[in-house]
Chain A
Amino acid sequence: MANYFNTLPLRDQLHQLGQAEFMNNSEFADGVDALKGKKIVIVGCGAQGLNQGLNLRDSGLDVSYTLRKEAIEQKRDSWKNATDNNFTVGTYEELIPTADLVINLTPDKQHTAVINAVMPLMKEGATLSYSHGFNIVEEGMQIRKDITVIMVAPKCPGSEVRAEYVRGFGVPTLIAVHPENDPQGKGWAEAKAYCVGTGGHRAGVLKSSFVAEVKSDLMGEQTILCGLLQTGSILSFDKMVEQGIDAGYASKLVQYGVEVITEALKHGGVSGMMDRLSNPAKIKAFELSEELKDIMRPLFQKHQDDIISGEFSKTMMEDWANGDANLLKWRAETGETAFEKTPAGDVKIAEQEYFDNYTLMVAFIRAGVELAFETMVEAGIKPESAYYESLHETPLIANTIARKKLFEMNRVISDTAEYGCYLFDQACKPLLAEFMKTVQTDLVGKNYNAGKDGSVDNAQLVEINDILRNHEVEIVGRKLRQAMTAMKAIKTV
C-alpha cells in the first residue's frame, strides 16, 4: 500500500489539506434521519466505541457491536462492555453482512487487519466510518469502490463524549468524506447524521478532509499536546529539585500545574491564560515565550515537514513491524524519570499559586500553542483545524497528566501520538539546555512577584497585550469557543 497523500498531484494535496469549514447549525436540521432505521455495527468496544454507541442508541438509532471471535469467546472487557449495556454482540461474519454503516473504532495500529477482515463481508453500497484517517492517508488503504468512506472524529476522550451528550450537549467534532469513496453522494448526509447522533452538532462541527485531519492531528499531538508538555514538565521538575525546592512540592506543582494553567487557556485562549499573571509576570512570560519560539521553531517545522512528506509515518510503521522496539524502550525511559517517580507532596497549592509560581509553564504553553498553530497554517492547514489540534486539545491532555503524570498521558493517547511525543521530547531537551541554564526559581517553584513592586511600563504592556490578543489563534479561537462555551469545567484539584 502506498501513502495516499503522496500519490496525489500537488494541486490536489493543497486542496485536501486546506479543507476546514465551520458548519452552521442549520446544516443539521435533518437530525439523524439519514441513519434512521439503518443497521449500524460498531467494530470495537473500548472507550470511544462504547460511549459513541450509547449516544447513537439514545438518539434512536439501531446499534450493535462486532468483535473478533476470540474477544467474544474469552469474554474480554470489550465483550462485557457491550453485553452489560444490552447491546447485541456478534462476530464479523454474523453482523457485518447486515450492516448499512460499519463504524471502525479500533486502535489505529489494528486498522489494516480489521479492514482486511471486514471489507469482504460488507454489503454492496454500505458505508465505512473512521474516527482517524491514518489508515486511509498514511497507509494508503484502498476501500472497495462501492463503499462510502466517512470520518466522524469527536475531539475529546470517549468518557467526555458520553458525559456531554447526557447533559444535553456534545463535544466538538470533525467530519469528512473520502473523495475517492463517495459513489452515491450520501457521505456528507450520513456523516452529519452520525454527528447529530453523538451530540457533536451542538458543540461545533468542522467540515474537514481525511488528509487535513491526519496531517494536523499528528502535528498537534507530537508537538504542543504531548511532546512539549512532557519536555516542559520534566525540565521544570528537574530545575526545581536542582535549585533545592522540596521535591514533593515540585512534583505537585508540575503534575497539577499544567491542568490549572490550561483551564484558563480553555476559557480565554492564550491571552486569557496570560491574563492570570500579574503585569510584571505577564511581561516576563511573554519575553520567555518569544525566546522559546525562536529556539523551537526549527524543531516544529521539522516535525511538520516529516508528517507532510510521510517520513514520520514510514519510520513509525517500521517500528510497528519491528515489534514496537523503539516505542517500548522510550516508554520505559519515561517511567524512570525523577518527576515520574516522585509522588506529589501533601501540600496545599491554591489555584492562583499555580500561575504565580509556575510562570515558566505559562511561557512554554504560549510558545507551544502559537508555534504549532503557526507551523500548521504555514503548511496549508486551515486555522480552524490548526486551532482544534493545538489550543483546544491542550487542556484535555493536561488533564491526563494531572491524573497520573506522563505515564498516564502516554497510556491514554494513541500509540501514534506516543511515538511522536518521544521523538519530539528527545530532540527538544538538548535544544533547550542553554535556555534552561538561565531559568531560576522565580520562574518555577517560587512566586515571581515576590519582592517586586508590580510596576510596569504602560506602553510595553499595551504592546504585549496587543500582540497576544491579535494572534490568529486568538481570533479564530474566539469564534470557535463561542460554539462550545458550555463545555464543563474540569475539576480535579
Chain B
Amino acid sequence: MIEPVVHIANLTVQHQYHVVLQDLNWQIEPGQHWLIGGRSGTGKTTLAQAIAGHVPYSGILNVNFDNHSPLPAEVLYVSNWYQFTNLEGDKNFYYQQRYNKHQTNDTLTVQAEFLHFAKEKHLQFDDVKPYFETFGFENVHDTQLIELSSGEHKKLQLLKALWLKPQVLIIDQPYTGLDRQSRQELNQAFDDLAQAGVTLILISNDQTVPTCINHFAEIQEGQLFEVSSQAAFSREKERARKPLPHFLQKSPRITSQTMVKMSNVDVRYGEKEVLKKISWEVKAGEKWLLQGHNGSGKSTLLSLINGDHPQAYANDIVLFGKQRGSGESIWDIKAHLGIISPEMHWYFDQSAKVWQSVASGFFDSVGLFRNLSFENQQFLDQVLDFFDLKEDKNKLLNTLPLGKQRLALLARTVIKNPELLILDEPCQGLDYEQTQHFNAVVDELCTYGKTLIYVGHFETQLPSCLEKKIILDKGIVQSIEDILQYA
C-alpha cells in the first residue's frame, strides 16, 4: 500500500481563545499538487503552519517521507511575510533604515545568506547559481539583505525553496510582489519541481498557476473542502458601496501647483548607483503610475519624496514648493502626503490596534503617541466605517487578514485628507478580488482633487484614474508617457 504524503485527521488549531481550524481532515496522495484558495481569514495560512510544525495543534497530522527519494525529507513552508534578521539575530529594523548608511554592516550580504543556507541544509552553492540570472540576483556578493526591495525578498525565499527541493513544499502567496515575467518563470520552476517528485501546496487565489496543480480546496468553518477548480473558490462578499465621508469629499488645500520637481537626481551607495540623473515633475491633480522591474529603484525614488532618504539633501529636489534642505523638517514634508508601501507594512508597529494604526495617520507616526481631538475622533469613526473596519477596530492590526491590514493602512494614509497619495505596490500579497476592491476605493478617493503616485505591476489590476506613466529601468527613467485608457 502506498502511504499518503500528508495524512490529517481531526486537526484543531486555536489562537488563544479563537478556534481557527476544527476537526479538519485532509489526505494528500503521492503525485497530487494542491492549490488552496477561497476567502481571506479562513485559516489557510494556519493550516500551512501546522503542517510545517510552526503552530501547536491537536489531532493527527502525519507527514510520510519517502526514504528512497533523493530529495530531503523535509517540509518547507515559505511564508507570505518575510522577516530577516541582522548579524546579531535582531529583527528590530525600521523601514527607513535601508536608506541610512552605516559603515558597520548590520545584515548579511545576499551571497552570505545563500552560503549560510547551503551550510545549514548541506547544499551546493553552484546548484543555485543558474537561478540567479532568471531572478535578477547577479549582484548578490555586494548586496546587503536590507538593501533588497520587497519583491526581491520574496524572490530570495522562493529561490531557497527551489534550491532545497524538499519533499513537501508549501508556499503562501507565491506571486506576491513578482512582475509578470518572474511569475511565468516561477511557474515553470514549480512544474520542474513536481516532475522531480516534490509535493506542492500553494496558497493563492491567482488565476495563473502552474500546470502541475491537479487538486483544489478551500477552508470553510475550520474544515477543508475539495472543489473542482480555482473557478469554484468562494469569492469575497461584494463590497457595499458607501459614500465617501464628507470630509474626504473636500479637495485638499494645495500648497503649490508643482508638488514634486526633481532635476538630475543621483543616489548611490558606494560604487552602486541606484538612481541616475532622474528628472521628474509631478503637478497638482496628476495621477501617476510608476513602474519598473523589481529593484529598478522605485521605492528609493519615492523615499526621496516622503523625506525618508538622507541623500535627498545632496540633490536638487523641490517638494511642495520648497527646496529640499532649506530648513524644512521631514515632518513638514510628510504633512502634505499619505504613503503606503510593503516595506512600511513590514515594519509597521504590529502591536498597535486597528484604530490606533489608522489614527496615527494624522501625525504621520508609526503607532499612535498622542491623544485625538474631538474633530479627529469624528473623522476616525467615519473613515473606519467607510473602510468596513468598525468591527475590527479594537483588534491588533496583525491579527487581521492581509487584505484588511492593507485597507487599514490605506485608511491611515487618507485620514488627514492629504494633497498627495503615494501608494507603493499597495496590493502586493492581495488576490485579484481584494485588488479590485482596493483600487475601486482608490478611484473613489481620487475623484476629489487628489494627486496620486501609484506603483503596480499588472496592467489589468490598476485604478482607472491613472493618466500618466513613468517607467524606471535600472535606476534610469526609461520613459514618461500619457496613459490613454486601460480596459
Contact = CB atoms under 8 A, between A and B. Distances in A.
Interface of A: 32, 36-37, 50, 54, 57-62, 77, 80-81, 84-86, 162-163, 166-169, 202, 403-404, 408, 485-486, 488-492
A86 B104 contact: no
Contacts of A492: 89-92
Nearest to B333: A58
Contacts, number: 83
Nearest to A160: B92
A60 B368 CA distance: 23
A361 to B, nearest CB: 20
Contacts of A403: 88-90
A85 B100 contact: yes
A43 to B, nearest CB: 18
Interface string B301-323: 00000011011011000000000
Nearest to B310: A85
A54 B309 CA distance: 10
A486 B368 contact: yes
Contact of A163 (B94, B270, B363): B94
A168 B328 contact: no
B364 interface: yes
Given A85-B100, A86-B310, A168 B89 contact: no
Interface residues of B, number: 37
Given A169-B365, A491-B92, 5 more contacts: A60-B327, A84-B101, A168-B366, A488-B349, A492-B89
A263 B382 CA distance: 36
B248 to A, nearest CB: 22
Interface in B452-486: none
A490 B310 contact: no
A81 B314 contact: no
Contact of A486 (B332, B364, B369): B369
Contacts of A166: 94, 96, 308
B67 interface: no
A77 B96 contact: no
A50 B103 CA distance: 11
Nearest to B368: A486
Contacts of A162: 100
A341 to B, nearest CB: 19
Given A37-B327, A59-B329, A77-B103, A168 B365 contact: yes
A280 B308 CA distance: 51
B97 interface: yes
Contacts of B331: 59, 168
B167 interface: no
Contact of A168 (B270, B310, B364): B364
Given A54-B310, A85-B310, A488 B92 contact: yes
B351 interface: yes
A54 B367 CA distance: 21
Given A168-B365, A486-B368, A80 B103 contact: yes
B351 A167 contact: no
A81 B369 contact: no
A167 B344 CA distance: 10
B102 interface: yes
Interface in B315-351: 327-332, 349, 351
A11 to B, nearest CB: 40
B360 interface: yes
A163 B101 contact: no
Nearest to B83: A491
